[in-house]
Chain A
Amino acid sequence: MSTQTAPTTPGTTRRPAAGRSPSRRTVVNRAPWILVSPFLVLFVLTFVLPILVAVGQSFTSVTRAGLFGEEGVTSRFAWFENYRLVLEDGNFVASIWRMFLFGVVQVPVMIVAATVLALLLESASSRWPGFFRATYFLPYGIPGVIATILWSFLYVPGLSPIIDVSEKLFGYTPDFLGAGTVLWSIANIVTWTYAGYNMLIIVAQLKAIPTELYEAARVDGAGPWRTATSIQLPLIRPALVLTTVFSIIGTLQLFAEPQLLKTVSPAIDSQYTPNLSAYTTAFAYNDYNLAAAQSVLIALVAFALSFLFLRLTNRSSR
């Protein structure tokens, strides 16, 4: 940073005497900035700038004349043209609705499952809670890509033992990868991966509940069920809100699972989820401007949904 040689600015005139060693106050003031600068530099370079560039790209349009653009390439400020094209693209809009449907079903299922697991583990009568906590959390330790490959072997006809057993016992051949079912096959993978993780957040909050409350409840004659509904559930509300918001954002960003299952399921197209759509536009079609517009829209929708959910939960708690 240019310091000593900096020309006179309003900042320097405020100093009482130039050339004097910096006062203790300025050192104290400067310290946090120095300490935070490694983070700040990376944050700006890898987070703020890419977002700004993406927003800029989303308002730009490039046209090429001739067969390959040999008759001239022009790039111009296009206002909202890219956004119009994206919103006119039925497949992209459909992918957002698909994720909406996915979220409405999968997020509650997962949060309920995580809550039930957490309550069971934290109930007084649970055995080996440490072992089970680790077991439930284990799927989160498996990268999403590997998890999807593992599950795909359980979904593919001819390889899947589930399908074999179902055929032998019930004479029914489940189709996990069909047009109507593959979304829920993905939901299953996501739930399997993240239920344990969300459970852990809820467990942490449960552990923060003061023991006096449990004692008071017991003295008042509350059983495990009553304790759960009247003490634990209301007090883990912040954790539930947090995990739900994370899950809503995560749902809109679904990418790895459908991208990998695409190879075994013809039902997953190149625009199955919003992120897959943006990825395809950017890296298969080389149209970064349109992809930027898609990404910005995904971010806006995620923001709006999270905000809406927080507003709803805040209102109902009043």
Chain B
Amino acid sequence: MREVTRRELLGWGLAGGAATVLGGCATPGTTSVNAQPVVPAAAGEKITLTYWAWLKDLQKVADIWNAQHPDVQVEVSWIQGGNGGGYQKMYSALAAGGGPDLAQVEMRTVPEFMLVNGLVDLERYGVSEHADKFDPTLWSQVSFAGGVYGIPQDSGPVGMYYRPDLYEQVGAQVPTTWAQWAEVAPAFREAGVYIDSFPLDDTSPFTAHAMQAGATWLRSEDDGWVIDMASEATLEVARFFDKAIDDDLVTTSANPYSPGWYAAAADDKIASLVSASWGDALLQSVSGADGKWRVAPAPRWDHGYGSSFIGGSTSAVLANSKHPKEAMEFAVWMNTSPEGIDAMIENSGIGWSPARDYIGAPREEPSEFFGGQRYNTEVFQPASREQNPDWQWWPITQQTFNILGDGFRRKATGGTLVDAVVAAETRTVEVFRQKGLTIRKADR
């Protein structure tokens, strides 16, 4: 062994460092799997697919498939939920040229994965023959520029949870329009109750309200993205909640499903909650809430749609999958077959199923928690059909949400939601351009 001088060691370190720096600079995700030849279906041999998801006990669902398909076995690995660490793991795996065949990716995150060439275009594997099994609105949210980039897995049509006893106490009718909602809200304040809360740091409820009012913030066209965030529909929603907050009709200090909100709800201080269908399970964590809540359709704007979606995820086939066709077939089976849906509701507690014709057997039963109401068939099933069909997500959804949320927080120190929306539109355009993407403002 030759003596290593300090100078040599330093030299190696610098050389190695420089090599790694250069290697690191070759940013991953710059070649597209969708420009390469289609991967043929596995010819007879036994294959194993991996699926990264944060739904609990999803392996039990996959086991039903595995029993029926000895040649295509599916192994589920649990990962952290989305931005809580799951996406970071997927991005790293993709960058390293690996990763699972399938991964749970939220609807709104699908375009972000497309930006790093992380998803397989399933159109090339014949997904269109399954299109009519899915809710058309959700199907359009995974379709971009003639391709399909994920199989819808669950979602959350919006309705209104409410407390009949509190409404009765103040003598208010359950509102069917937002105008009525604003009329009855002051009565609750006199009783020390809030009709609802408005989160300043979570923009997804606001986004859903705008979606319901008929806004489409961004859409992809042949010549690039078209942004229309500060449209009249959105600004009207922003003005409406600006006024609601100014008049102290809603609380901004207890976000839905936060510890403070649970405490207030348990203390009978929250009369209603406009939220997604998956809120039913969360409401059951309110202590002593058994039998007290009911569900009604969401209040409407005087234009737009009956409901909207909050949340929702897909089973997406990741770029480095060796068996994209089989992965797609499993995802379609899991998300549309009655046995798959029922197993996912039972084991994983998924949100609203994206299947067009089947909501899941457990969801057709009357609910004991909601006082025997068949709220799923009564409220959420119709809501899932009254959706804004034009809505699309965009490649920097999370960043736009954060920019908007940062703007909303200024409401506490004198800003307005309207200003936040206008500023978020401008900033989103800047970020698009920084990334080199084509974007223009809508003519209005």
Contacts and interface: CB of A to CB of B under 8 A. Distances in A.
Interface stretch (B15-23, B176-184, B236-244, B350-358): B15-23
Given A11-B8, A26-B3, A75-B27, A67 B201 contact: no
A284 interface: yes
Interface string A281-305: 0011110110000000000000000
Given A64-B115, A91-B406, A156 B225 contact: no
A212 to B, nearest CB: 43
B260 to A, nearest CB: 5
A6 B2 contact: yes
A158 B436 contact: no
B438 A66 contact: yes
Given A49-B16, A179-B412, A64 B435 contact: yes
Interface string A142-176: 00000000001100111100000000000000000
Nearest to A82: B434
A264 B26 contact: no
Interface string B219-247: 01000110000000000000000000000
Contact of B27 (A62, A157, A264, A270): A62
Interface residues of A, number: 59
Q: Which of B17, B91, B117, B263 has the most CB of A within 10 A?
A: B17
Given A177-B253, A270-B405, A284-B402, A3 B1 contact: yes
Contact of B263 (A152, A156, A280, A285): A156
Interface stretch (B294-302, B307-315, B391-399): B391-399
Contacts of B8: 11
A264 B258 contact: yes
Contacts of B29: 73
Interface string B40-53: 00000000000000
A220 B32 CA distance: 82
B398 A60 contact: no
Given A11-B2, A29-B3, A266-B412, A67 B20 contact: no
Contacts of B21: 52-53, 55-56
B259 interface: yes
Given A29-B3, A179-B413, A285-B399, A49 B406 contact: no
B4 A33 contact: yes
A1 B12 CA distance: 11
A53 B436 contact: no
Contacts of B437: 64-69
Interface string A25-67: 0100110010000000000100011001101110010111111
Nearest to A175: B253
Contact of A283 (B88, B116, B435): B88
A169 to B, nearest CB: 20
A262 B115 contact: no
A103 to B, nearest CB: 23
A157 B253 contact: yes
B236 to A, nearest CB: 23
A153 B252 CA distance: 18
A75 B409 contact: no
Contacts of A156: 258-260, 263
Interface in A84-132: 85, 91
B402 to A, nearest CB: 4
Nearest to B412: A179
A158 B258 contact: no
A60 B8 CA distance: 29
A270 B402 CA distance: 7
A56 B436 CA distance: 21
B3 A11 contact: yes
B201 to A, nearest CB: 4
B254 interface: yes
Max chain A C-beta neighbours (<10 A), residue from B254, B255, B396, B409: B409
A56 B260 contact: no
B20 A49 contact: yes
Interface in B314-368: none
Contacts of A275: none
B115 A68 contact: yes
Contact of B20 (A53, A70, A267): A53
Contact of B112 (A12, A177, A271, A286): A286
B30 A73 contact: yes
B435 to A, nearest CB: 6
B260 A269 contact: no
Interface in B117-136: 117
Contact of A264 (B18, B260, B264, B409): B260
A178 interface: yes
B169 interface: no
Contacts of B78: none
A73 B83 CA distance: 25
B107 interface: no
B36 interface: no
A158 B263 contact: yes
Contacts of A6: 2
Contacts of B259: 152-153, 156, 158-159, 264
Contacts of B26: 75
A21 B361 CA distance: 81
A91 B408 CA distance: 14
A49 B12 CA distance: 12
Contacts of B116: 286
A317 interface: no
A156 B263 CA distance: 10
A57 B263 contact: no
Given A67-B224, A158-B264, A285-B396, A56 B22 contact: yes
Interface of A: 1, 3, 6, 11-12, 22, 26, 29-30, 33, 44, 48-49, 52-53, 55-57, 60, 62-70, 73-75, 77, 85, 91, 152-153, 156-159, 177-179, 262-264, 266-271, 280, 283-286, 288-289
The 3 closest A-B pairs by CB, nearest first: A63-B436, A158-B263, A56-B21
15 contacts: A22-B1, A56-B25, A57-B24, A66-B437, A67-B438, A68-B145, A69-B115, A153-B259, A156-B260, A157-B260, A159-B260, A266-B199, A267-B412, A270-B402, A284-B399
